[in-house]
Structure 1
């Protein structure tokens, strides 16, 4: 099937919305797969709404509750649209789990529903390039002298696996390779030889690209999509292949996370990892031998006399960065992150002074390297050609760091960005990262997403605050958008929340800022998980609070299996929680969304506090300040809406299937006593409610369950 890759205006063949919805009716083809099939009116309405958006080149912003069946509701129109109009559609998700669910389950179902048709479109899952093995880099690493024993063993296993794997992705490996090893052998866009590569015909990425050119539906995640869109904004254009082949329509699933994903691709960052990666490419010693590329470059450069200058510059650059790192950690002090506007001017000036020292040494290194590499003459010798190319890549990456530093020096002239330092944990301790992030992404999203594409569909179970889409639409640039029609719609969950869910809030809980609150949480959580016999997900907003409560629960309930985030890999924790029915999982931020535990294994969700963002977090503070400068209320226009979305995600962990039944307990009574608290309660489905003392709640849970 050939797809029209031109992006000029064209005339489309409209689809019949009722026909497509009919596939999912009681008399439709999907019903024939089941002994007992019950159509979902909200799903049928969503199919029609999405189909009309395709027909009218409109933007659709749709909230679809859990259980609506939104995947099939958008896949069926997407396949039919691609087939009728020979155009490509991108489906973008927020999580890898959903990507795999789509390609493994929902896409096959959609194709079965549509039946055998001539020229049936294909769907393809595409991951970020670094997820794929590079055969050339694998062979280079295999030939590297004196590999460490563990590294050599893993490498031998990967080399054997590479001969039989079809897709060459890290997730397809039967084991998880060491991160340091995978970095050496994965595919990189700026380290690709293209058709000049001796492994070009067997390259996993090139095979994927050929498949992508033939596929109608590309299933990606938000980060990969924004990498593509950033490339198009930077000059690749919309009619050519960038990271992805050209496409005409986007469907965002889990659309509530697109602002966060876009933020990383419109930001500039650097840390010691980016610096050391380039420096070790140039010069590193392994078991007494220099295995960097500088020596080979020097051997074929007519400016070989620069080698001592470069060696000296490398040493001084690393020393300058070490001094800058120490100052950056001092800049942050005891907090995890701070922006330039959150500290006294003298503190920022001291940091920038060391930034300039580092930039000065880095520029000396870059200038000398550029002359050495430009004057290299490898004379078609592959060994030296590879070294010169690797040196050029390292130089380009170092120049990117230098360019970002220039932005930092001009931070006062860039009010639309927040410049901030964050501390990251590493095996050797805390490491600072330097960030430049746009405060408001609305305009960027309008120009990168909503204007260029004919149809954009945004779907999630949590796009509204109360009854309004205004917060999400304002953050993403759609609130005052006039480029094309924007339609909104709500498609309610078919699950029986009023009958099957009990919502508790203890009225005798201390306020979260009361010093007695943590002790109350410890006691309450232990009593609540005991009464439900485990089967509980406990969600915190603070890891320190989590550790204290988890330790207390383990001491009080030694016979219960209590799992703690941070003590094992996330996926293994989830697997254990699902398989061991009576277990309890204590978790923080990343578990409030994107996890799916249907059935008895998750009977009770405990939300310790309303999930307000840390008010001092640099990006949040900058956005709050921008609202205040315009005369608004940052609490009501930012803090509360963000917390409501997160709260709804946490609440949504409980009901994952039609037969699920259980309890949600919120230990934060601000939802009852604060004026804004009603917004949280009104933003979730109607349930049974028990707003009473903890003792009464325990009795009520027992009556509800048993």
Structure 2
């Protein structure tokens, strides 16, 4: 059999669209057979037009490079010949092949016909947990040489090696996984089925080594590693300063003594041993994480017990596991038995995945995600779905296969990653978890945190938000309609119709039963639609509280809704659920073995009935249970009704809920609450009170020494317009101008923090249209696709980059060193007055005769402001500027409160032009001169 020929192609062009006149400027083709490179072709192509500057910056190909190059027509015949009898391979075939076809057409040649392989599609399947699928990122991760990214010759070679690496990866997969990949690959966009088939044929002739694999109904999963018993080393706590210095100096590179870190260690050690409670505000620069890890680990080892460390985001949790705990192990010279625990929904339910995988009506995104999960299951030890990098459409499938409280399994099994994590925690010294998992223990039938000897609650201020998220209910019209659509009627081809046909064919369920079932279902849909129409009529009677031009919100208590109608929806839905469950029971009765294809239908039916039970609980919680401790509101977009209807119910005061969780713990264990932001000027107990922590619990405030912030300066731009006196358009123009000038002065590496997604989007669009930052990489939350952490990682890969963010970028984001030069605060981070939860809290305070601005709005904004500054200086060697564009910090009496919340650094109030010159000068002066300047200012 003749070896397959692959033609790996990469092109560089003047832009993204050949339809609008963009042309090729370079092409490279690598011919590969038997996974060896046989031939290469590369050439500059004269585009017949100037190369845009941003393309020259991206590719490093200039007009001078292509000046003497021939047009594509001169190479067309040879290129066409190279591609004959080959599989066309590219990293994004839609782009490269479409350009190439357009050039062939322009040269008067026929369209090239053949098979194609997109390495982006292939890599997504075979490396499903890669952080990025860009060629440069993949090359770095897989040790593939790529000296000059965005040059066709280097990119084509890298793509060829990537294809070979994918082939090697394919051959490591279990045979059953390969068979499943091949079976479903015919629904993909490119011809991966042939590659999978070749790998399958080869593997079938090899001896299978399944020693690291276990099987769940033909799905291959990586076998759990057996954890070796860790020898207990005797550890003693370093009580004196000299002992601490000796301990850390040996193992920490460039160690510098930090008295505040030692204070923190002693406070935690004292409270752990006294089983008492303490609040510790530890600013950036103290070394907070090592400050609590050293005493907690020693305490756990000495007492042969365990300490639980809880944090907020998955990023911080991963940082603890991958970086900080290994650092602590090195310092202490011992291994630490650590277990990571997350909430159920973070883990895959293998049983549900197996059911859904058998569906024949999957979309492209679902098919691709199924293939990713099949490969991932052969590699993962945790079953944590956050390890996967899937597309937006694939995320909907991921949500379907999450383990939930309603998932029904008869007993524990070895395929349950959640139960596996809980079992591992029994032998741990340290359990690392997140706040939501901890809060979930309140309602868990068998609490898993009842054998803990001490608690460290890191990012303690975020425990409040975690409690809100845990206790909130969200109703979405589109989600409900999607659920109705899954069942359907007997006259269409949805689940009810399919289930009814097999039940009648096997004479398992009477037709009259299905008539009653369908009658209830239709009635349920009618009542639901009537309820939605009543909500729309009622909300029209309410004066508009706008969020943007087309969005509207209203508290549910303001609407005159028909409670009897809402109750009827609940009653009819319960009747339908009872009948639907009964239908499944009748079908299964007295049958020892159900045909596999019928079993699949039955499992799908039971799955969607469980989903209806979840929705019923949601309906009753939102529409039928009144509770003054909750704020419930409706929001919609008038351009899309009823499709945009959402109803949210969130708790207003969480102190009682948090006390309920921690009061039993307080009797027997130490609780350490720590964060970089627990206090605001004039209100040290602002966060403590919201957490329900008693006033007698001491608060320790630790601030890094002044020299830690020697590389930081703050600027207030005092000639920005007042947003109250100019239009939003004019204000955004001023903001865009200020941002572009600052970014060019600092050469990028800039965070721009907004409080409004609408203003962020409009500012970014204006900057992009102006092309004033055309040579910078711009990443914008809510505009650029990807999660917060993916945006951050992309931002860090480029020196000339800007990241525009809203709420979640004000904190919990680490960019140490030269990765971040400036933070721009566009608006002081006050909550929007009409934001329903904030509004509800404000109303309660006002009813009590208290000042909602000074007791709620201002402290919250100052906390966010402190967190925003905390992004800038992450080590004593960092250097950066903190710039405020909101003039209220200077013109309003409360502005001084924001400035007092900053460390003791110099603050300059200047017009934009003067500030830009000042920053430029400051960045350019030599380090020694800067040190002298800072010393004089202090």
TM range (shorter): 0.7 to 0.9
5 Å matches for 1:248-287? 248-272=453-477, 275=480, 279=484
5 Å matches for 1:529-548? 529-548=743-762
Deviation at 1:425, TM superposition (A): 13
Aligned-partner SS, 2:239: helix
Residue of structure 2 equivalent to 1:577? 795
Deviation at 1:187, TM superposition (A): 2.6
Please give the per-residue CA displacement for 1:261-316, whole angstroms capped at 9, x wherever unaligned: 10122333333466467656756999946389954788797777332222232233
Change (3 A) 1:470 1:512: farther
Matched, 1:589 2:807: yes
Aligned-partner SS, 1:214: coil
Residue of structure 1 equivalent to 2:785? 568
TM normalised by structure 1 equals: 0.85
Q: Which 10-residue stretch deviates more, 269-278 or 446-455?
A: 269-278
Alignment partner for residue 438 of structure 1, among 623, 644, 651?
651
Deviation at 1:469, TM superposition (A): 2.4
Structure 2 Cα separation of the partners of residues 280 and 188 of structure 1 = 22
Structure 2 Cα separation of the partners of residues 285 and 246 of structure 1 = 53
Aligned-partner SS, 2:354: helix
Alignment partner for residue 166 of structure 1, among 374, 381, 390?
381
Matched, 1:309 2:520: no
Alignment partner for residue 632 of structure 1, among 836, 839, 850?
850
Residue of structure 2 equivalent to 1:66? 284
Please give the per-residue CA displacement for 1:111-140, whole angstroms capped at 9, x wherever unaligned: 232234xxx651112233233233322322
Structure 1 Cα separation of the partners of residues 485 and 409 of structure 2 = 21
Matched, 1:598 2:816: yes
Matched, 1:321 2:532: no
Structure 1 Cα separation of the partners of residues 498 and 842 of structure 2 = 48
Residue of structure 2 equivalent to 1:223? 436
**Are 1:328 and 1:351, in contact at CA under 8 Å, matched by a contact in 2?**
no
Structure 1 Cα separation of the partners of residues 300 and 753 of structure 2 = 41
**Are 1:582 and 1:601, in contact at CA under 8 Å, matched by a contact in 2?**
no
Deviation at 1:75, TM superposition (A): 1.6
Structure 2 Cα separation of the partners of residues 442 and 289 of structure 1 = 47
Alignment partner for residue 245 of structure 2, among 17, 26, 31?
26
**Are 2:709 and 2:876, in contact at CA under 8 Å, matched by a contact in 1?**
no
Residue of structure 2 equivalent to 1:85? 303
Please give the per-residue CA displacement for 1:82-132, whole angstroms capped at 9, x wherever unaligned: 22334332211111111111011111222232234xxx6511122332332
Aligned-partner SS, 1:550: helix
- Structure 1: gaps (5+ residues): 1-14
Change (3 A) 1:102 1:273: farther
**Are 2:282 and 2:675, in contact at CA under 8 Å, matched by a contact in 1?**
yes
Residue of structure 2 equivalent to 1:6? none
Matched, 1:414 2:627: yes
Please give the per-residue CA displacement for 1:45-83, whole angstroms capped at 9, x wherever unaligned: 101111111122222211111121111111222222322
Change (3 A) 1:125 1:429: farther
**Are 1:534 and 1:560, in contact at CA under 8 Å, matched by a contact in 2?**
no
Structure 1 Cα separation of the partners of residues 409 and 512 of structure 2 = 29
Change (3 A) 1:672 1:508: same
Q: Which has the larger radius of gyration?
A: 2
Q: Which 10-residue stretch deviates more, 158-167 or 324-333?
A: 324-333
Alignment partner for residue 213 of structure 1, among 408, 418, 426?
426
Aligned-partner SS, 1:700: helix
Aligned-partner SS, 1:496: helix
**Are 2:795 and 2:801, in contact at CA under 8 Å, matched by a contact in 1?**
yes
Alignment partner for residue 651 of structure 1, among 860, 863, 869?
869
5 Å matches for 1:62-461? 62-116=280-334, 122-173=337-388, 178-195=394-411, 200-229=413-442, 231-232=443-444, 236=445, 240-242=446-448, 246-272=451-477, 275=480, 279=484, 288=493, 290=495, 295=500, 305-325=512-532, 328=535, 331=539, 334-335=546-547, 336=551, 338-340=553-555, 343=558, 348-350=559-561, 355-356=566-567, 358-369=569-580, 371-372=582-583, 377-379=588-590, 380-381=592-593, 394-395=608-609, 397-408=611-622, 414-423=627-636, 431-453=644-666, 454-461=669-676
Alignment partner for residue 837 of structure 2, among 605, 619, 631?
619
**Are 2:347 and 2:384, in contact at CA under 8 Å, matched by a contact in 1?**
yes
Aligned-partner SS, 1:434: strand
Change (3 A) 1:452 1:654: same
**Are 2:712 and 2:880, in contact at CA under 8 Å, matched by a contact in 1?**
yes
**Are 2:478 and 2:644, in contact at CA under 8 Å, matched by a contact in 1?**
no
Deviation at 1:572, TM superposition (A): 3.4
Structure 1 Cα separation of the partners of residues 784 and 253 of structure 2 = 44
Matched, 1:513 2:732: no
Residue of structure 1 equivalent to 2:183? none
Residue of structure 1 equivalent to 2:273? 55
**Are 2:355 and 2:603, in contact at CA under 8 Å, matched by a contact in 1?**
no
Structure 2 Cα separation of the partners of residues 577 and 632 of structure 1 = 43
Residue of structure 2 equivalent to 1:677? 895
**Are 1:87 and 1:248, in contact at CA under 8 Å, matched by a contact in 2?**
yes
**Are 2:239 and 2:266, in contact at CA under 8 Å, matched by a contact in 1?**
no
Structure 1 Cα separation of the partners of residues 512 and 852 of structure 2 = 59
Alignment partner for residue 737 of structure 2, among 523, 526, 534?
523
Structure 2 Cα separation of the partners of residues 127 and 420 of structure 1 = 30
Q: Which 10-residue stretch deviates more, 48-57 or 151-160?
A: 151-160
Change (3 A) 1:547 1:153: closer
Structure 1 Cα separation of the partners of residues 365 and 276 of structure 2 = 55
Structure 2 Cα separation of the partners of residues 341 and 405 of structure 1 = 13
Aligned-partner SS, 1:26: helix
**Are 1:87 and 1:216, in contact at CA under 8 Å, matched by a contact in 2?**
yes
Deviation at 1:225, TM superposition (A): 1.9
Residue of structure 2 equivalent to 1:493? 704
Structure 1 Cα separation of the partners of residues 292 and 637 of structure 2 = 39
Relative contact order (C-alpha < 8 Å, sep 6+): which is higher? 1
Aligned-partner SS, 1:704: helix
Structure 2 Cα separation of the partners of residues 153 and 437 of structure 1 = 36
Deviation at 1:378, TM superposition (A): 3.3
Q: Which 10-residue stretch deviates more, 366-375 or 691-700?
A: 366-375
Residue of structure 1 equivalent to 2:125? none
Change (3 A) 1:311 1:249: farther
Q: Which 10-residue stretch deviates more, 297-306 or 559-568?
A: 297-306
Please give the per-residue CA displacement for 1:422-452, whole angstroms capped at 9, x wherever unaligned: 4599999953332332221111111112443
Matched, 1:472 2:687: yes
Change (3 A) 1:157 1:602: closer
**Are 1:297 and 1:387, in contact at CA under 8 Å, matched by a contact in 2?**
no
Aligned-partner SS, 2:245: coil
5 Å matches for 1:40-51? 40-51=258-269
TM normalised by structure 2 equals: 0.65
Deviation at 1:583, TM superposition (A): 1.3
**Cα RMSD (Å):** 3.6
Change (3 A) 1:294 1:75: farther
Structure 1 Cα separation of the partners of residues 698 and 742 of structure 2 = 43
Structure 2 Cα separation of the partners of residues 293 and 169 of structure 1 = 34
